[in-house]
Structure 1
Amino acid sequence: MPSEIAPAGLRERKKEETRRLLLEGAARLFEERGFESTTVADIAAYANVSVRTFFRYFESKEALLLPDGVEIFTFVENALAARPADEEPLDAVCNALSQAAEPFAASTLTALGHPLDDIENVVTARLVQAFSDFEERLTVLVRDRLDPDTPDADLKAAVIACAALSAVRAVLRTRRARRASGLTDRGPAPLPRAFGFLREIGST
């Protein structure tokens, strides 16, 4: 039996290594040459694989601009788990999302190189969709933080999770619209500002 398992394990390690090299190559080439000047063939060559093999791992070079949704979700989950147990649920979720979203957004803009690059629309759309897909999962995490005797705990958890993720999507869309208009963000980071607005709404 061990002899049958070993080849499968080796194949998985090989696949993970190829994926790692493709991501590493994309990050390095985007930084050195810029996104538009880097081709799929360039990235494949860095990983020593064919273009055909590249497309077995990623649907396009745009897909390399962002980490997998699973990676984003894991980052949020870990950040939320590290928040103090007595922290208000909305505050805990907002703080965890701030820790997760900003680094990913910053790394994306670095790869793009130019804030008005057309591909930013694709990237923003991907982030918006990723956070939309995370709503049910985040709702469960919030529910686990609520007191067991909380009335309508399932509904409260869903409202907190969906409201916080909507704030993230609002920031992404607003930032894209501002850049398209030639405007720049000023003052504190936009995501904490958005969460501040969300808390103000809840307190009125």
Structure 2
Amino acid sequence: MPREIAPAGLRERKKEETRQRLLEGAAHLFKERGFEATTVADIAAYANVSVRTFFRYFEGKEALLLPDSVGIFAYVEDALARRPADEAPLDAVCNALLEAAEPFAASTLTALSHPVQGIENVVTARLVQAFSDFEERLTVLVERRLPPRTPDADLTAAVIACAALSAVRAVLRTRRARRASGLTDTGPEALHKALATLRAIGSADRRTS
């Protein structure tokens, strides 16, 4: 008798459940044993899957430190593509970042601001590389939105892209510093404040130019 094939929707739900178990297992074990002492086999066993299955979802345990970074950046790209064509490039990027932060604020952004003790350097290195890679991609997307024959369009686009992502990094850095000092975490509204500051600077520059 042929094996019954699960509907596509059910397969996707099961895949997401497995992925979440792996993420939860990694978070628990990293905190309990430390990053270096936790193996891929440990994480797989916690999630009740094989090591082979683990590698279908993640390239290694390091990938679990920033599991949704790729998803965030892809969401930013999609959100930017939906912004009105006549919107100022800086405003478009800021609005896209704010939209992208919504579905990820409770998971990845919080994890980035509250890294597991003892692996801050590993997380920071991966985060710096992830932002650097996306800065190049975002620069290309911003340049496409600039008016035709914009002087030094490549430089203008790079400044906008790097400034916007620097605002995000500033939020993460500030939240970590405040938490380490025992101060109240500013929460998700910090990104709104940071991007508002950036836009205010941009507006002042446009008025004086």
TM-score of the superposed pair, with normalisation by structure 2: 0.70
CA distance in 2, matches of 1:178, 1:58: 33
- Is residue 2:117 matched to residue 1:118? yes
Name the counterpart of 2:31. Answer: 36
Moved more, 182-191 or 171-180: 182-191
Q: Secondary structure at the match of 2:31?
A: coil
Deviations 1:153-184 (A, max 9, x none): 22211111111111111111111111111112
Instruction: For residue 41 of structure 1, report the CA deviation from its aligned partner.
Output: 3.2
2:115–2:123 Cα contact (<8 Å) kept: no
Name the counterpart of 1:4. Answer: none
Task: Summarize the Cα distance change of 1:24–1:117 in structure 2 as closer, same or farther, 3 Å threshold.
Answer: closer
- Is residue 2:100 matched to residue 1:100? yes
**Which residues of 2 match residues 100-179 of structure 1 at below 5 A?**
100-101=100-101, 103-108=103-108, 115=114, 117-118=116-117, 121=120, 122-179=122-179
Name the counterpart of 1:48. Answer: 49
Deviations 1:128-177 (A, max 9, x none): 43112211110110011111132222221111111111111111111111
2:168–2:191 Cα contact (<8 Å) kept: yes
CA distance in 1, matches of 2:143, 2:82: 16
CA distance in 2, matches of 1:115, 1:69: 15
CA distance in 2, matches of 1:28, 1:117: 13
CA distance in 2, matches of 1:167, 1:139: 15
Moved more, 136-145 or 22-31: 22-31
Instruction: For residue 201 of structure 1, report the CA deviation from its aligned partner.
Output: 2.1
Moved more, 70-79 or 155-164: 70-79
1:25–1:43 Cα contact (<8 Å) kept: no
Query: Matched residues, percent identical?
Result: 67
1:73–1:134 Cα contact (<8 Å) kept: yes
Structure 1 gaps of 5+ residues are 1-15
Q: Secondary structure at the match of 1:118?
A: coil
Alignment-mate amino acid for residue 183 of structure 2:
L
Instruction: For residue 35 of structure 1, report the CA deviation from its aligned partner.
Output: 4.8
Instruction: For residue 93 of structure 1, report the CA deviation from its aligned partner.
Output: 0.5
CA distance in 2, matches of 1:172, 1:101: 12
Residue of 22, 33, 40 corresponding to 1:26: 22
Name the counterpart of 2:8. Answer: none
Q: How many residues align?
A: 185
**Which residues of 2 match residues 174-193 of structure 1 at below 5 A?**
174-186=174-186, 189-193=189-193
- Is residue 2:101 matched to residue 1:63? no
RMSD of aligned Cα (Å): 3.6
CA distance in 1, matches of 2:149, 2:126: 37
Deviations 1:44-96 (A, max 9, x none): 1336213x774684332x52142355433211110101112121110110111
1:75–1:100 Cα contact (<8 Å) kept: yes
Structure 2 gaps of 5+ residues are 1-11
